[in-house]
């Protein structure tokens, strides 16, 4: 594979990698790229993952996103989702309109909560997700208005706040990966500050640093995000035959 891989495929692989090693848990993807990642992981290296149709059913098989001829292997209405979250047997990949150095995230509103400049979704299940089960994030456009020093509303709990709560939450708090259009990040540092893991092909360290509104931990050696293997490429084409993933990435 000497050709530079397509960025959307690199990102799909990076999203899938977030679930590596998770075994038989609910891999929940909130969004097209997140869903593609979960299904790609199951179709290749993580076959025991549980995947839902985003409505109320666990589906078996490598189902294309949006397809309706599903093979149902279980029932997961919202109440069971909440039970699974509290039981910790889930790894969700969400979106975020803002994220800070310790992984506090915001999907609720931009500007002051009391009277927002822009009302977004509300906190949704973010508070419960982030203190109960593993959480990752996919952010399609890496820029300083998203990677901010302080988020306007904490809908997802970051490491500094989890530490302050202490006890079970501090011990079990588990933010895994942040995948953007520029690279892959995690929190595997002594104080759980965000760290650059890999740069996507063609992206420079300066691209990342200048688009991040806080100090990022940059290791001595930064690797390049890998493209899909032949098996992964085939799976991506089965799961996303229409190329929905291409529309998910900011150019």
Partner 1 sequence: MRNKLISETQAIASLENGMTIGIGGWGSRRKPMSLVRALLRSDISDLTVVSYGGPDVGLLCAAGKVKKLVYAFVSLDSIALEPHFRIARQSGTIPEPVEWDEGMLQWALFAASLRLPFLPTRAGLGSGVMDVNPTLKTINSPYADAEELLAVPALRLDAAFVHMNRADSRGNAQYLGPDLYFDDLFLGACEPGRRFVSAEKIIATEDLLKEGTFHTLKINRSMVDGVIHAPNGAHFTTCEPDYGRDEAFQKAYVDAARDPETWKAFSARFLSGDESFYQEQVVLWRAEVKAAKEATK
Interface ranges with partner 1 (CB under 8 A): 55-57, 75, 77-79, 82, 85-86, 106, 108-109, 113-128, 130-132, 153-157, 161-162, 164-169
Q: Which is nearer to partner 1, 45 or 58 (CB)?
A: 58
| Nearest approach, Cβ of residue 120 and partner 1 (Å) | 7
| Nearest approach, Cβ of residue 82 and partner 1 (Å) | 5
**Could you give the angle at which helices 32-43 and 7-17 cross, rounded to 10 degrees?**
70
Kindly state the tokens that stand for 231: 């098996």
| Nearest approach, Cβ of residue 125 and partner 1 (Å) | 4
Q: Which is nearer to partner 1, 31 or 201 (CB)?
A: 31
- From CA 127, how far away is CA 15, in angstroms rounded? 22
- From CA 200, how far away is CA 127, in angstroms rounded? 30
Q: Which is nearer to partner 1, 106 or 225 (CB)?
A: 106
Coil vs helix vs strand at 241: coil
| Nearest approach, Cβ of residue 54 and partner 1 (Å) | 10
Q: Which is nearer to partner 1, 165 or 218 (CB)?
A: 165
| Nearest approach, Cβ of residue 39 and partner 1 (Å) | 20
Phi and psi angles of residue 163, each rounded to the nearest 5 degrees, phi first: -65, -40
Please list the residues that pair with 94 across neighbouring strands: 137
| Nearest approach, Cβ of residue 47 and partner 1 (Å) | 25
Q: Which is nearer to partner 1, 136 or 155 (CB)?
A: 155
Per DSSP bridges, beta strands 223-224 and 195-199 are parallel
Q: Which is nearer to partner 1, 125 or 227 (CB)?
A: 125
Per DSSP bridges, beta strands 90-94 and 105-106 are unpaired
Spell out the residues 6+ positions from residue 251 whose beta carbon is closer than 8 angstroms to its own. none
- Asked if 81 and 58 touch (Cβ cutoff 8 Å), the reply is no
């Amino acid at each position: 594979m000497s050709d530079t891989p397509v960025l959307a495929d690199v990102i799909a692989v990076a999203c899938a990698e977030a679930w590596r090693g998770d075994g038989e848990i609910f891999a929940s993807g909130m969004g097209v790229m997140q869903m593609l990642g979960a299904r790609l992981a199951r179709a290749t290296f993580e076959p025991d993952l549980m995947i839902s149709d985003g409505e109320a059913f666990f589906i078996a098989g490598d189902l294309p996103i949006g397809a309706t001829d599903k093979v149902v292997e279980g029932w997961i209405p919202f109440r069971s989702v909440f039970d699974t979250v509290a039981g910790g047997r889930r790894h969700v990949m969400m979106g975020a309109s803002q994220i800070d150095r310790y992984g506090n995230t915001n999907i609720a509103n931009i500007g002051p909560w009391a009277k927002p400049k822009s009302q977004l979704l509300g906190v949704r299940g973010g508070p419960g997700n982030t203190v109960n089960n593993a959480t990752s994030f996919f952010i399609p456009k890496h820029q300083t208005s998203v990677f901010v020093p302080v988020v306007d509303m904490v809908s997802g709990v970051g490491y500094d706040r989890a530490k302050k709560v202490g006890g079970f939450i501090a011990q079990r708090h588990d933010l895994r990966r942040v995948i953007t259009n520029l690279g892959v990040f995690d929190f595997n540092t002594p104080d759980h500050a965000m760290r650059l893991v890999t740069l996507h092909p063609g992206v420079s360290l300066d691209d990342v640093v200048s688009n991040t509104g806080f100090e990022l931990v940059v290791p001595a050696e930064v690797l390049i995000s890998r493209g899909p293997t032949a098996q992964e490429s085939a799976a991506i084409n089965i799961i996303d035959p229409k190329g929905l993933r291409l529309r998910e990435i900011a150019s």
